[in-house]
Amino acid sequence: MFEGITDNLKNALSFLNRGRLTEASIREGMQTVRQALLEADVNYDVAQELVDSVTEQAIGDTVLKSLSPTEQIVGIVHQGLVDLMGPVDHSLHLQKSGVTILMMCGLQGSGKTTTCGKLARMLAEQGHKPFLVAADLQRPAAIDQLCVVGEQIGVPVHSEDPQQTTPLKVCQNGVKRAKAEGRDVVILDTAGRLHIDDELMAELEQIDSKVQPHQILLVCDAMTGQDAVNSAKAFNEALELDGVILTKLDGDTRGGAAISVKAVTGVPIKFVGIGEQLDKIELFHPDRMAGRILGMGDMVTLFEKAQEQMDEDELLDAQDKMAQGTFSLLDFQKQMKSIRKMGPIKQIMKMIPGMGGLTDAMDGGDDPEKDLKRVDGIINSMTEWERENPSKIDRSRRNRIAKGSGVEPSEINGLLKQFNEMSTMMKRMSGMGMSERMQAVQDMAKNTDPSGQFKVQKQRSRRGPVDSSRAKELKKKKRKDTKKARKRNR
């Protein structure tokens, strides 16, 4: 997600590392940032507005005379992106009594029907009683698809014979049935088209007028880039949208739609779809998205994913074992399975500050998914006693495990050594309070630059900051003196 725009912005912001910043270098660098945004399919006016705003703030005395102008400018760019994409009201404004009607609209292929199911599943988990209405009579498979989705998530679906009814009647009858069955949220899956036309808009306007939905949400395919923004603008002019749901953000998208749609239409992005599965929908947070776009990670979302996938009792049990130094390979394997449920390992790593550059380096070689499967295979080749007592695995046992898992004995040695080091570190960390752990995460985030690499902190002595060029000269002189001493000794 956003790999293209992230890489382009990293390159564009490389002017920050040229040394002392001047007004001229900032203006030149921000034009490169503007080009990076345009290549990511960001709306032209939006890109220009962001660059103008950032440039105006960046050339001020506060930034140029600050001790860390690089961090200041990255912060300004980050805030500029947040302002463009937000603020966001995630509420669907559900009625306290009676039935709330949500009308979903969008072009064909945007993932509208699947998104209806995702939204219904999310509402059901929150304690509501959603009800789906199959009002898309244009696409032959739309009704069957929604019925299948409804069955998967345990939500009833109202459908009618498309030859004997109209979209308006289906919506009206669906709302009546929902009220009769005591449902509290109705989701209307309306028809889409391959492109916006008068017939489509007339049909949607009729449903809006007669059924009077409480919220109208547009489903946009982020893969279409600027076309998604244009369609959002057209739908909003006809229906007065209450929010947008961006889909397919897990695909090869350039990110322009996410940055542009709020600024161009004034309609907030409420949710984002990040996969085909019916649980792959998230609240849209502009600050977190801006962090991901700039390669700064997203620890908050990572913690939320962990809470969703990891059992609280298991986590407490693991924490106790870490504190006592009894954390075994079996416990480690359970934690690995929970982590893999959170999503692709590379996506998870990119949410951790400082890991963005590392995952980019992996693209040409190591695959963390394969590595985890390999480790899983090694642990599965052990007996239960060996998993509980990894420190007591001797040479003969290592050779047997290696044959069983199809790896070299040296890999078993490496795994056991790494596990031992990790266990020692976890035992040490278990004595820290939550505030100390969070402080460690914040310190790591502070030591991350826009390229996703850790910064080297300037060392300070009593004489003041160390001059890196002076340090190089001293090292060079020391090497020369050493060579001369060796010649004299000969």
If one counts every other C-beta atom within 10 angstroms of the C-beta of residue 440, the result is 12
Residue 355 lies in a domain: yes
Let me know whether 136 and 273 are in one domain.
yes
- Does the residue 94 lie in any domain? no
177 occurs within a structural domain: yes
pLDDT confidence of residue 118? 96
CATH number for 153: 3.40.50.300
170 part of a folded domain: yes
**Structure-block tokens of residue 233:** 């603008």
The Cα–Cα gap between 239 and 216 comes to 8
DSSP per-residue string spanning 413-472? HHHHHHHHHHHHHHHHHTTS-HHHHHHHHHHHHHTB-TTSPBPPPPPEETTEE--HHHHH
- Whether 155 contacts 121, CB under 8 Å: yes
Count of domains in the chain? 3
Assess whether 69 and 144 both reside in one domain. Answer: no
Is residue 333 classed exposed, middle or buried when 0-12, 13-18 and 19+ CB atoms within 10 A define those classes?
A: middle
Q: What share of the chain is helix, strand, coil (3-state, %, to 5)?
A: 60, 10, 30
Domain range holding 399? 314-446
- Domain end position, chosen among 426, 446, 466: 446
Q: Give the helix/strand (H/E) hosting 71.
A: helix 69-85
Sign (positive or negative) of CA dihedral 192, 198, 202, 205: positive
Q: Are 251 and 77 in contact (CB under 8 A)?
A: no
Whether 210 maps to a domain, the answer reads yes
Q: Are residues 327 and 397 in the same domain?
A: yes
Peptide linkage before 87 cis (omega within 30 of 0):
yes
Count of other CB atoms within 10 angstroms of residue 373: 13
Quick one: 328 and 440 in the same domain?
Answer: yes
Tell whether 320 and 213 lie within a shared domain: no
pLDDT by residue, tens only, the chain of 490 residues: 455 566 667 676 776 665 567 778 788 888 888 888 888 778 888 889 888 988 888 777 666 565 566 667 777 888 888 888 888 888 888 998 889 999 999 888 889 999 999 999 999 999 999 999 999 998 878 999 999 999 999 999 999 999 999 999 999 999 999 999 999 999 999 988 777 788 888 999 999 999 999 999 999 888 877 778 888 888 888 888 999 998 887 655 566 777 888 888 888 899 988 888 898 898 888 887 777 777 655 444 555 555 555 566 666 666 677 667 677 888 777 777 776 666 666 556 555 544 444 444 444 445 666 777 788 888 889 998 988 888 888 989 999 999 998 888 888 888 888 777 767 766 665 555 444 544 444 444 444 443 333 333 333 333 344 444 555 566 666 666 666 666 665 5
The pLDDT assigned to 228 comes to 81
* 239-276 b/e (C-beta count within 10 Å ≥ 16 → b): bebbbbbbbbbbeebbbbbbbbbbbbbebbbbbbbbbe
Report pLDDT for 448.
Answer: 41
Tokens coding 338: 């929970």
Q: Are residues 122 and 66 in the same domain?
A: no
Do residue 109 and residue 73 come from a single domain? no
Asked, for residue 478, whether it belongs to a domain, the answer is: no
CATH code, domain with 426: 1.10.260.30
Positive or negative: CA dihedral 141, 146, 147, 151: positive
**What per-residue confidence (pLDDT) applies to 373?**
79
Residues 440 and 335 in one domain: yes
pLDDT of the residue at 232: 87
324 and 231 inside one domain? no
Q: Terminal CA-to-CA distance of the chain, rounded, Å?
A: 62
Does residue 153 sit in the same domain as residue 242? yes
120 and 132 in contact (C-beta within 8 Å)? yes
Q: Please check whether residues 70 and 211 belong to one and the same domain.
A: no
The domain boundary residue, chosen from 446, 463, 484:
446
Mention every residue, 6+ apart, whose C-beta is less than 8 A from residue 294.
6, 9, 74, 77, 78, 81, 450
**Residue-level pLDDT at 370:** 74
Q: Are residues 79 and 198 in the same domain?
A: no
What per-residue confidence (pLDDT) applies to 234?
86
Name 199's Cβ contacts closer than 8 Å, sequence gap at least 6.
Answer: 193
CATH number assigned to the domain comprising residue 53: 1.20.120.140
Say if 295 falls within a structural domain: no
Does the residue 50 lie in any domain?
Answer: yes
